[in-house]
Chain A
Amino acid sequence: MKKKVEPFIIGIFLLLLMVIPVFVKAQYWMQVLIIGEIKTLLVMSLFVLCGITGQISLGQAGFFAIGAYTSALFSIIFSLSPWLTILIGALFAAIAGVIIGYPALRLKGPYLIIATVGFGEIIRLIALNWVSVTKGPMGLTNVPPLTAIKIANIINIDFNNKLANYYLLILIIAVITFLVYNLTNSRTGYALKSIRDDEIAAEVMGINLAYYKVMAFTFSALLAGLAGGFYVHYIRFVSPDSFTLSESINYLILLLVGGSSSILGPFIGGLGLTSLLESLRFLSEYRMITYSMILYFTILFLPKGLSNLLHKSSPLSSKKNKIRGSICS
């Protein structure tokens, strides 16, 4: 049942996203939705690691920063096309994923969380203090936007406006969701899930823990790096303030409140909660207080996250989730 429902809901969700610009003309809301899309990518990257493999990371902002800074620097210094530098940035982030993935093999639960906190903070502090390259706290300005796509004078997409970026990100999200969804239902996905549910049992069944854990870290870092690249060429500015520990904590919250047991979680967390937070702006200084209370009550009454409201999970997964609660952290 679950298998059929999830792609259907995601399809509806993406269609809805596509028609939103027809009704919502305000530039402000377009901006909010684009940031929401980038957060969806980031939460998706965390979903691969925490939701599927059961490894909680608070270093996601670090991978995001590597992707953003690498892409921005390559496009500024070597004047390469941003399309290429985004891929280079994602590659660098993936390499960082391998580097952090290997030592993380020995760590579990809270130890892993704290180690990734350290990793994320180190990346941020390097960006803050390596002034000759990253311009330190001032940040890099004049990051070029994505170059326009021109095909035979008929199609000409200029990425200097919000709408083009918006649709581009929908496309990216669709592709990545397709990949991640297929991953969860593949041999590799079953291996990762078995690591999440019981590491020792998985190893006994002949699953190569080291290989699969490092793979999950690498894939997750790659996605976060990709998100960083698209972020930096859209905002066209990057400074260390965007990659603080609070940001990493925020992504984890978006995933856990959105629901880490289903691929719908990243959508609800990334786009839904980000839009919700924006629509609370009328509360001005009471906004974050209200937001924290919403998080609290959601997690109190829906311990498996909001995505559990949207679809009934199969009996197997609900049983597994209970076990996972004790293992994941």
Chain B
Amino acid sequence: MTLETILQQIINGLVLGCNYTLIALGMTMIFGILNVLNFAHGEFYMIGAYIGFTIMNCLGLGFWYTFFLVIIFMVVFAYVVDLIFFRPFYELGHNNQMVSTIALSILLQNLALLIWTPNPRHFALDYTTKTISLGPITITVQRLLVIVVAALMVLILFYIIDKTSLGRAIRATSQDRMAAELTGVNVKNIGIYVITIGSVLAGIAGIMVAPLFLVYPSMGIEAVGKAFVVVILGGMGNIPGAILGGLLVGMIESFTIQYLGAFLKEIIVFLIMICILIIRPEGLYSSTVKTKV
């Protein structure tokens, strides 16, 4: 147990954690506003990775052009998804909304199977193999980029939530839907903004980690389980909590792999989640002033 291995595991945990954070942020915000668990959120992440892969392979564009095209695609995608799978269910109750997101998840998974076949895809960039030495540890540029982009996205999100009128409307709606509506917030339209933010963040997670891990149609359903854990650790609808939870889950995973064995990583993560649910159902991160959303 040398200092280098610990530092290396911290970096690995950060990369995993940033990935989970980006996915879980959208999920927790959608829960805060629409009060529904978005089972299709993992598929947003999968679609982001596949679209990035396709743009890079077919159009031969560079990584950053692809990155911005994926963001544009995810915005359009979120609009369509909201129109078909969320909006008609606002009045029909949470159970039906949940079934509709599950139907969306099945649909997207099978569309991906149809378009991109079940074979795992791998795309390597220059960034994937290029390394940087930071003191005793070495890190590939792509891993560093995951952390930097995730941090940047979180900052932008905080700016939107804290400083803009849209952010105020989102916070108001998640705290008290009826009161927000009475003060003139168009709560029906808040849903689409939140779904767009969530979809873009999940898409960015997809394109950022695609060069590191394999891309395959069932990657979404695996990620969604982790995102649930992150959302629970941070508290439902709690943005700072989701960031903390994401990093925590990433760290737990990477240290479990190093010191206890890779097969235990998911069991330990789920066990911790159940313990948290029993001891503190409101999440680890809950201050006196509850910043929900």
Contact = CB atoms under 8 A, between A and B. Distances in A.
Contacts of B271: 118, 122
B93 A326 contact: yes
A125 to B, nearest CB: 5
Contacts of A109: 94
Given A285-B113, A303-B96, A329-B98, A103 B103 contact: no
Nearest to B231: A114
B100 A296 contact: yes
Contacts of B104: 292, 296
Given A114-B232, A114-B277, A115-B274, A253 B102 contact: yes
A109 B274 CA distance: 15
Interface in A294-329: 295-296, 299-300, 303, 322, 325-326, 328-329
Given A129-B263, A285-B113, A296-B85, A249 B102 contact: yes
Contacts of B263: 125, 128-129
A103 B100 contact: no
B151 interface: no
Given A121-B270, A246-B221, A299 B103 contact: yes
Contacts of B289: none
A328 B267 contact: no
B39 interface: yes
Interface in A76-115: 103, 106-107, 109-111, 113-115
Contact of A292 (B110, B236, B270): B110
B278 A106 contact: yes
B114 interface: yes
Interface string B215-232: 000000100010011011
Given A107-B277, A111-B232, A289 B37 contact: no
B37 A110 contact: yes
B39 A292 contact: no
A256 B94 CA distance: 11
A126 interface: yes
B82 interface: no
Contact of B267 (A122, A246, A260, A300): A122
B50 interface: no
B106 interface: yes
Contacts of B270: 118-119, 121-122, 125
Contacts, number: 130
A56 B267 CA distance: 22
Nearest to B224: A245
A296 B277 CA distance: 31
B103 to A, nearest CB: 4
A303 B88 contact: no
A222 interface: no
Interface residues on B, range: 35 or more
A114 B95 contact: no
Which of A113, A117, A118, A256 has the most B CB atoms < 10 Å from its CB? A118
A257 interface: yes
A178 interface: no
Which of B96, B111, B232, B271 has the most A CB atoms < 10 Å from its CB? B96
A204 interface: no
B103 A296 contact: yes
B150 to A, nearest CB: 23
Which of A103, A113, A256, A300 has the most B CB atoms < 10 Å from its CB? A300
Contacts of B228: 114, 117-118
A118 B229 contact: yes
A291 interface: yes
A133 interface: no
B107 A289 contact: yes
A303 B92 contact: yes
A235 interface: no
A324 to B, nearest CB: 8
Which of A56, A285, A329 has the most B CB atoms < 10 Å from its CB? A329
Interface string B258-293: 000001101100110110011001000000000000
A205 interface: no
Contacts of B99: 253, 256-257, 295, 299
A189 to B, nearest CB: 20
B193 interface: no
Which of B95, B270, B271 has the most A CB atoms < 10 Å from its CB? B95
B100 A289 contact: no
Contacts of B225: 117, 121, 245
A1 interface: no
Contacts of A322: 93
Interface string B221-251: 1000100110110001000000000000000
Contacts of B96: 256, 299-300, 303, 325
Given A56-B95, A122-B267, 14 more contacts: A111-B277, A114-B229, A114-B231, A115-B273, A122-B270, A122-B274, A256-B95, A288-B109, A292-B104, A292-B106, A295-B106, A299-B96, A325-B95, A326-B94
Shortest 5 CB-CB contacts between residues of A and residues of B: A325-B93, A329-B94, A292-B106, A292-B107, A288-B110
Interface of B: 31, 36-37, 39, 85, 88-89, 92-96, 98-100, 102-104, 106-107, 109-111, 113-114, 221, 225, 228-229, 231-232, 236, 263-264, 266-267, 270-271, 273-274, 277-278, 281
26 contacts: A103-B278, A111-B236, A111-B277, A114-B37, A115-B273, A115-B274, A118-B270, A118-B273, A122-B267, A122-B270, A125-B267, A129-B263, A129-B264, A129-B267, A288-B106, A288-B107, A292-B104, A295-B102, A296-B85, A299-B89, A299-B100, A300-B88, A325-B92, A325-B94, A325-B96, A328-B95
